[in-house]
Amino acid sequence: MRILLFIFCFVNAFILKAQDVHFSQFSVSSMGLNPAIVGNQSADYKASFQKRTQWQSVANPFNTISFGFEAKDILKNTSAGLQFVNDVAGDANFTTSGLNTAINRTFSIDRDKQISVGILLGFAQRKVDFSKLIFEENEQLQNPSFMFFDVGIGGNYSVIVNDDFSFISGFSTYHINKPKQSLLELEDVRLEEKYNTYFLSFYQLSNTIILNPSLLYSRQGKSAEFVIGSVLRYNLQPNINLISQVFYRWNDAVIPAFGINYSSIRAVVSYDINTSDLVTASNNKGGFEFAIIYIWNKKKRKGKEKIKHYCPRYL
């Protein structure tokens, strides 16, 4: 029994010090990338949903869902967003549920350059279900849970180079308050700070082809992630775009994706093809992910008003 408890405590500490819940389609929810770009979509409002399932061939599948809502310019040059995240991992249903809110402020440098700064405040609960585990002896164990407050900040730089090319680049930090994470209170386990650095661009090759090269570098404790790739959009009709993309997570996975953008709705399906040292156990299987985004305006814009895109349109 002591050995089993020791193993559980070790695994628990390892999971909590590892990387946060994250998605391969990292640009869908701005709040997970940088609170400074929340509300940076081309319309007044944006609603998003993501679902990810991974490690089905290795263990009980890890399931993650996220709901997000973003509003542009709720006050002058001020945007805000709200996000709910739920993650269930492993046989013991190790569950993380969180509600995050973010607000940012944008400042114009000149006609085609902007900087923005944002802050994220979150509240989350983590719990585990011991009844799902099997012990050598009959044990009466309570199902522990705890709640914690979370803080993140970020900054972003947006540039329109010309009518065909624009980009954003920024840096964000999460868990700057390092909230306590121990389930069994055997030691003072803290959530490591997480750092994101990214570059997302928008390049119109022709009237029908749009390219969005992007990269992300993320670090949390001893864990690091580098993702690079591009989205290719083909304008089939004025309000219908076909989407294909390929990203590579360094030393981990190739991530192809396909989708469609119809008017104000976009749906994309991606799949992680594992290429890491776990390929033998995973049989090249990784994570299935689905994302859907809906953007809309308070009211229809009059005339042919030209909207400046300070960020890639697929955000």
> Is 309 within the bounds of a domain?
no
User: What is the Cα Rg of the chain in Å?
Assistant: 21
pLDDT band at residue 2 under the 50/70/90 scheme: very low
Nearest residue to 169 via CA among 125, 213, 133, 126: 213
Residue 55's pLDDT band, with cuts at 50, 70 and 90, is: low
Beta bridge partners of 145: 127
Task: Report yes or no on 116 lying in a domain.
Answer: yes
What global pTM score does this model have?
0.86
pLDDT computed for residue 311 by the predictor: 53
Q: How far apart are CA 140 and CA 132, in angstroms?
A: 13
* 193 assigned to some structural domain: yes
Domain membership flag for residue 312: no
Mean pLDDT, rounded, of the chain: 85
Residue 301 counted as domain residue: no
Q: Identify whether 255 is part of a domain.
A: yes
State how far the Cα of 88 lies from the Cα of 94, in Å rounded to an integer.
6
* Among candidate residues 170, 158, 215, the one with its CA nearest the CA of residue 42: 158
Q: Which two tokens stand for residue 137?
A: 């002896």
Indicate the number of domains in the chain: 1
Take residue 172 and report the two structure tokens written for it.
């964000």
The CATH number for 170's domain is: 2.40.160.40
Q: Which two tokens stand for residue 105?
A: 């402020």
Beta bridge partners of 68: 48, 83
240 occurs within a structural domain: yes
Does residue 90 sit within a domain? yes
Q: Which domain holds residue 272?
A: 2-296
Q: What is the pLDDT of residues 180-200, one digit of tens each?
A: 887 766 678 899 999 999 999
